[in-house]
Structure 1
Amino acid sequence: MSNDRIIETLEEAGKPKISPALKLVLELGPLVVFFFANSRGEWLAGHFPALAELGGPIFIATGLFMAATAAALAVSWVLTRTLPMMPLVSGIVVFVFGALTLYLQNDTFIKMKPTIVNTLFGVILLGGLAFGKPLLGYVFNAAFKLTEEGWRKLTLRWGLFFLVLAVLNEVVWRQFSTDFWVAFKVWGTMPITILFTLAQMPLIMKYSVEQPEEGKAP
């Protein structure tokens, strides 16, 4: 099983796929916009007076982040006629907390967005396990096949990982500067997530169920 196959498990199973390059752009694009707008906020405000009405760099970045997120979701819908669960939930939280950030001129809300999203996913996955439901198996069963034990272990790992990301975000935004938090959000969280995903390869390979067409017993 290739690395690309593991990364593709983040997509909803059975849905039309887009090219890996475009998928990466849709996932990373809004974050890159957020980072650029925060680092060049004063320049953007000087060249685009309308943006200056939003406030300082972090507020300009928040407004553009919301716009970029909406654009990414729109492109995904046009190309696949579906919105994957994780980007959709994350997008909704971006819009709600972004709007609060701009309206109240308080960047605490946008900084808490990753905490809320990751905690939500972590609680859902671990809560499902508590009721005997490895939810990743229901979502990604068409992408690849694992034994029941494999789905339980993978769901547990991802549930705990989401909670770790939530705690990590809280530590970073509370203990470091806004610029550091923005940089970490873009250049820290994503690489950590990719490395964690690839680190699940041994588990997925160990518990994979061979397909019937291969002529082998499951």
Structure 2
Amino acid sequence: MANKTINPMLKMALEMGPIVLFFIGYLKLKDSSFNIAGTDYQGFIVVTAAFIPLMVLSSGILWKLTGHLSKMQIATLVLVTVFGSLSVWFNDDRFFKMKPTMIYTLFGGILGFGLLRGKSYLKVVMEEVLPMRQEGWMILTKRLCGFFLGLAVLNEVIWRTQSTENWVYFKTFGLTAAVFVFFISQSGLFQKYGEEGEDAPDTAD
């Protein structure tokens, strides 16, 4: 299926909608408990159970409309399904809280493996939307690898030391803001190594 372009706002809604609904659902049900088939489930587990099919549905719609899902989106969907299902099955929120750790460790590990081979796997998935010279890709990949692994460690610290509510706020807003700030902070790198600036000095930072 050929890739198709869709309205950016619709794309953002499909990507961020499930996360926003998870947050709203948690706020409404965080103090509730539900007895299902003789087992008591806290609101967090119930919201997690609803989040999984919502993620599958939104990803399916996005694939149907665009004809494409990135490797990152597929990996995230798989890990959400696996760790979310484990939390529901064992009635244990720790599995779902570990999910960001696994995601960022996986992404950081893949980028690190590529760096050991002298390659930028980040370039493979982002080159079309962010034209940049090879030197720039290697620097950005090193930074993003360290950033992802740092987020994995931070998530472990937060969910193990903070309340569930604090973790939900961290996951919904903290992680999203951190990624946004990271890429904004790389604007100098993009300007220096962008393909439009072939005359820029060719030195690493």
With normalisation by structure 2, the TM-score equals 0.87
Q: How far apart in 1 are the matches of 2:77 and 2:67?
A: 17
User: Which of residues 16, 36, 40 is equivalent to 2:24?
Assistant: 36
* Match for residue 164 of structure 1 among 136, 140, 150: 150
2:25, 2:47 within 8 Å by CA — same for their partners in 1?
Answer: yes
Give 2:113's aligned residue. Answer: 127
Aligned residues: 199
- SS of the counterpart of 2:69? coil
CA deviations over 1:5-59 (Å, ceiling 9, x no partner): xxxxxxxxx943332212221222111122122221268878xx87997711110
Contact map agreement 2:120 2:137 (CA 8 A) in 1:
yes
2:8 alignment counterpart: 20
Q: What residue in structure 1 maps to residue 76 of structure 2? A: 90
CA distance in structure 1 between the partners assigned to 2:37 and 2:63 by the alignment: 28
Superposition CA RMSD, Å: 2.6
Q: What does the per-residue CA deviation read over 1:41-78, in whole Å, with 9 as the maximum and x for residues that have no partner?
A: 268878xx879977111101111211221121011111
C-alpha distance in structure 2 between counterparts of 1:140 and 1:52, whole Å: 49
Q: 3-state SS of the aligned residue for 1:55?
A: strand
Distance 2:8 2:109 in 1: 29
Match of 1:152 in 2: 138
1:116 touches 1:166 (CA, 8 Å); kept in 2? Answer: yes
How far apart in 1 are the matches of 2:57 and 2:185? 31
Q: Deviations over 1:88-129 (max 9, x none)?
A: 111100101111111111111000000000000001001101
- Seen in structure 2, the aligned counterparts of structure 1 residues 96 and 54 have a Cα distance that, compared at 3 Å, is farther
CA contact (8 A) 2:31 2:43 kept: no
Q: 1:51 and 1:88, CA in 2 relative to 1: closer, same or farther beyond 3 A?
A: farther
Q: Structure 1: which 4+ aligned runs deviate by more than 4 Å? A: 42-46, 49-54
TM-superposed deviation, 1:182: 0.8
Greater RCO structure (CA 8 Å; 6+ sep) = 1
User: Does the CA-based 8 Å contact 2:32-2:42 persist in structure 1?
Assistant: no
For 1:146 and 1:27, how far apart are their aligned partners in 2?
26
Call closer, same or farther: CA 1:176–1:52 in 2, change over 3 Å. Answer: farther
Residue 111 (structure 1) aligns with: 97
